[in-house]
Structure 1
Amino acid sequence: MAKEHDAILWGSAGDDLEGSDYSRLDERYGPLTIRRAYQRPDDGIPKSWKASNAGSDVGKRASCWSGKPDMGDVASGSLDERILGFLRSIPKSHVAFVTIWHEPDAKLKNETFSLSTYKDGFRRFCRLVKQVQGEGRPHLYTVQIVTTWAGTNPSKGRTYADMWPGDDLVDCYGADGYSHVGSKKSLWGPAVEFARSKGIPWCVPEIGYGDKGSQDVSWMNDQIDYMTSTPAGGKHTRCAFACWFDTAGPISVPTPGDERAWIKAAKKASRDYHFDYTRFAL
């Protein structure tokens, strides 16, 4: 039987943010053991985990959740009690990876917030999560989610090092990657190396085909091979989890969507590497 540090959880992000379509995805290419969920900017910090877009996961699968609260308010500390209440509402037995403002490199480019505001806010959020972890939540993890593009095409002020909030705050390093950016080491390598330099595992909150370039199923199989055989730092022996981005995006197509070969590849990965998510640990 596989050990918790050898596990990779397979999941997806579907069209419905609250997960009403997830049973259908699970039937098509499961068993899926994690779900990618996120809030809209207008949602702020939900009143509770149950009221969030990840609430439907409890008792069914692990969660990778991200919120989009006002980053200035997070940085100032005015949302501390709201965030603490939200985090403390997560059931202690539930495996949850949490973050705010995933893919900050894109938001920095668009000037949604400044680098200093992002780092101050994300650092504060991570410290609040660490506080709640210390209250007896061993299945709660912080994750920073960046794009692979920021690693393969680094720009001043938006590199992995620039966005890093500081050591001992991030439990797992996440990279969202798509086929038009690269494959295997050329795609994930910079994020894996950065995570390794920080002594933490890596994960893939979003993976899919880009809307440009080749869409041969061999790309999916190559990424599955890479993620299941490549460790970063820490105890984990491979990518901790990976979620197919099975919804239309601005630069991507639903993966695996309705493509039979893609569904077959995703289903094989879910079955070959199936692991009881309740036993998962970094």
Structure 2
Amino acid sequence: MTDPFSSHQSTSPKNRTPRRGGDHRGPRRRRSTIAAAGAASLVAGFVVLTTSTPASGEWIPGPELVVNGSFEDGTTGWKTNGGRETPLVQARPGVDSANSALISASARRNLVLNDAKNTVRDTDAETRFRVSALVRSDNVTSGELRVREVTQKVVTLNRERFRLEAGADWQRVSLELTVERNGSSLDLNVITWDARPGENLYVEDVSMVQMIQEGTNPPPTEPTTEPTPEPTPTTDPTTAPTPSPEPTPTAEPTTPTDPEGTPPTPTPTTAPTTPPPTTEPPKPEPGGGVLTNGCKYSARGIPECGAYFGAALGSNDDPTPLEKKAGQRFGIHRTFWQASQVDAAVRTAEQDLALGRLPWISFKLPTSWEAMASGAGDAWARDIADRLGGLDGPVWVAFHHEPETDGDMAQWTQIQRRLAPIVRSTAPNVAYTIILTGWHQVEGQGDTASYGLDRIWPTGTKIDVVGFDVYNRFGTDRSNRDAPYDLGKEFFEPLAKWSKANGIPWAIGETGYTDATAKADSDWLQKTYDQLVDLDGIAMSYFSSSLNATGDWLLDTSDRQDQFVDVLRGTPLLPVS
């Protein structure tokens, strides 16, 4: 028997016991919280982006807040994030005015109209706004009207998707939002995904107004006072859309290419990213940087807020086709390697970093646990660290993930205690991670005593990240549920509590769900990611593979693939030079 919440069968003759689970159903949401770390309290529910019924009186619009939303003053007050490859110009005709904004692609990029300064610079929680724009295109495309609520450590997306037919009439897209936090600024964008050379986006009549309840006298939101000249373009954004012992590829893994079909180079120019806030970003720590959501990350890739999202695919398969559908890179890319595959692992990590993906690598060990605990693998681990340390960006590494029932846990603990200082002292860009099943630590039916975190943890050793591999097995023959599992409540909450108490960032190294879940709750993956972010988790990786799997986790159905892509869009990425 295998652990139903691990993706793979144990290499140990011992059995793993099925776990219990819980039920969760929630409302369909239109708001996606991208970063919530550092908040004073955690929100257990989900925000529904709808207009609430006013206590008294009607809601009426206040003064216009957008600078030059009719583009009568050229492109003053606006910028495009694609640089010279997506120039922004004034065009004719408009609809309500004589002019419009036109963004055209000379290379394959997202087309982004971005307010040069955040349209609202400072506002209070519970303030309501209505936002709209007219859009059209000479080609078939899809995109979104988006408002990013930005504070120093939190970014919340409010967005409304649209689809444009080639040469069709102007289409109005609009949304309403309620500000969640005091002191927020509001960053206004109109975006279409993955434009090819020659494709374009027209925008006109961009509007944002504060909604005021009739009969009340709230302080009005002040618009940005002065128009700003067109700024220097920034990098290209996007916001569009796992278990196993390390699988042994039958051949060298396919060299990943970018979604545009161009083989990656150390300095790609077309990797999409989510847009940075138009406010002054925080200054990066030495050796670290700033993610595309505006949050700082350390030299070892640990973010101050927000959570990477990505996947492991097949037998270390190329993520490009799925990224191409989303119009965005994976934030994190999980791969699995045998001890003899160091060359391939380093090469893949280098390719991932060139494209803005954070590599999270698991290695099998070159010899027995007993020998490793005595130092037989020290030189091997040091060589890995030395080679990964030469890469241009952060890498996460784990040695023998999901160890429960695979051997003497005291020896495994000693291995981690021995290898972590070697890796961390050799490579300042490499985070040392430990990855456990999570199930044994929370619901192991007696196993929690043997595999409890406090029992097996290498106390006194610096570990950068602890990862857990938990699955939603509703719809498998191992499930006794009549509804999908609530991983956030059953697993994330207790694991996050231990993480906070011990000062060790936590993440989900592997998760998966069945097609039955996708049909029963189309928002399950989004809600699960949001639960992780709300509980200060820093990464979540899906496992789309049949290798040693105990369930059908493959993203091979339209429902699951579309749901994965929808979550991926807008999640934070490493910057790409």
TM-score bracket for this pair, using the shorter chain length? 0.7 to 0.9
Q: 1:189 aligns with which of 493, 498, 502?
A: 493
How far off is 1:172 after superposition?
1.0
Q: CA separation of 1:228/1:25 partners in 2, compared to 1, >3 Å: closer, same or farther?
A: same
Aligned equivalents of 2:385 and 2:351: distance in 1?
Answer: 16
Identity within the alignment, %: 18
Q: 1:177 aligns with which of 466, 470, 486?
A: 470
What is the aligned partner in structure 2 of residue 115 from structure 1? 409
Output aligned runs, 1:113-192, within 5 Å. 113-133=407-427, 137=428, 139-154=429-444, 155=447, 156-180=449-473, 182-192=486-496
8 Å Cα contact 2:307/2:533 also seen in 1: yes
Q: Which runs of 5+ in 2 are unaligned?
A: 1-276, 278-293, 297-303, 474-484
How far off is 1:58 after superposition?
3.7
How far off is 1:265 after superposition?
2.4
8 Å Cα contact 2:373/2:414 also seen in 1: yes
1:251 aligns with 2:550: yes
SS at match of 2:335: strand
8 Å Cα contact 1:8/1:273 also seen in 2: yes
Output aligned runs, 1:1-282, within 5 Å. 1=277, 2-4=294-296, 5-17=304-316, 19=317, 21-29=318-326, 30-40=328-338, 43-44=339-340, 46=342, 50=346, 54=349, 56-60=351-355, 61-69=357-365, 70=367, 71-90=369-388, 91-105=390-404, 109=405, 112-133=406-427, 137=428, 139-154=429-444, 155=447, 156-180=449-473, 182-209=486-513, 214-215=517-518, 216=520, 217-231=522-536, 239-248=537-546, 249-255=548-554, 257-276=555-574
Aligned equivalents of 2:545 and 2:570: distance in 1?
Answer: 24
For residues 147-195 of structure 1, the C-alpha deviation after alignment (integer angstroms, 9 at most, x for no partner) is: 1211321413212222211144211111111113642121222221221
Structure-2-length-normalised TM-score: 0.41
Structure-1-length-normalised TM-score: 0.81
Aligned equivalents of 1:35 and 1:152: distance in 2?
Answer: 26
Aligned equivalents of 1:251 and 1:277: distance in 2?
Answer: 36
Amino acid of the residue matched to residue 84 of structure 1? R
Aligned equivalents of 2:504 and 2:434: distance in 1?
Answer: 11
RMSD of the TM alignment (CA)? 2.4
How far off is 1:47 after superposition?
5.6
What is the aligned partner in structure 1 of residue 166 from structure 2? none
Aligned equivalents of 2:430 and 2:402: distance in 1?
Answer: 20
How far off is 1:262 after superposition?
2.3
Aligned equivalents of 1:125 and 1:200: distance in 2?
Answer: 17
Aligned equivalents of 1:184 and 1:47: distance in 2?
Answer: 37
SS at match of 2:359: strand
Amino acid of the residue matched to residue 450 of structure 2? G
How far off is 1:122 after superposition?
1.4
Aligned equivalents of 1:48 and 1:264: distance in 2?
Answer: 30
Aligned equivalents of 1:23 and 1:104: distance in 2?
Answer: 31
Aligned equivalents of 2:413 and 2:341: distance in 1?
Answer: 18
8 Å Cα contact 2:363/2:400 also seen in 1: yes
8 Å Cα contact 2:438/2:469 also seen in 1: yes
Amino acid of the residue matched to residue 8 of structure 1? A
How far off is 1:79 after superposition?
1.9
Amino acid of the residue matched to residue 73 of structure 1? A
Amino acid of the residue matched to residue 494 of structure 2? P
Q: CA separation of 1:123/1:218 partners in 2, compared to 1, >3 Å: closer, same or farther?
A: same
Q: CA separation of 1:28/1:74 partners in 2, compared to 1, >3 Å: closer, same or farther?
A: farther
What is the aligned partner in structure 2 of residue 236 from structure 1? none
Aligned equivalents of 2:383 and 2:462: distance in 1?
Answer: 19
How far off is 1:210 after superposition?
5.5
Larger Rg: 2
Amino acid of the residue matched to residue 266 of structure 1? F
8 Å Cα contact 1:204/1:242 also seen in 2: yes
8 Å Cα contact 2:420/2:461 also seen in 1: no
What is the aligned partner in structure 1 of residue 76 from structure 2? none
In terms of fraction of residues, the more helix-rich structure is: 1
Aligned positions, number: 256
Aligned equivalents of 1:88 and 1:184: distance in 2?
Answer: 37
Aligned equivalents of 1:245 and 1:48: distance in 2?
Answer: 20
Amino acid of the residue matched to residue 352 of structure 2? D
Aligned equivalents of 1:277 and 1:152: distance in 2?
Answer: 36
8 Å Cα contact 1:205/1:243 also seen in 2: yes
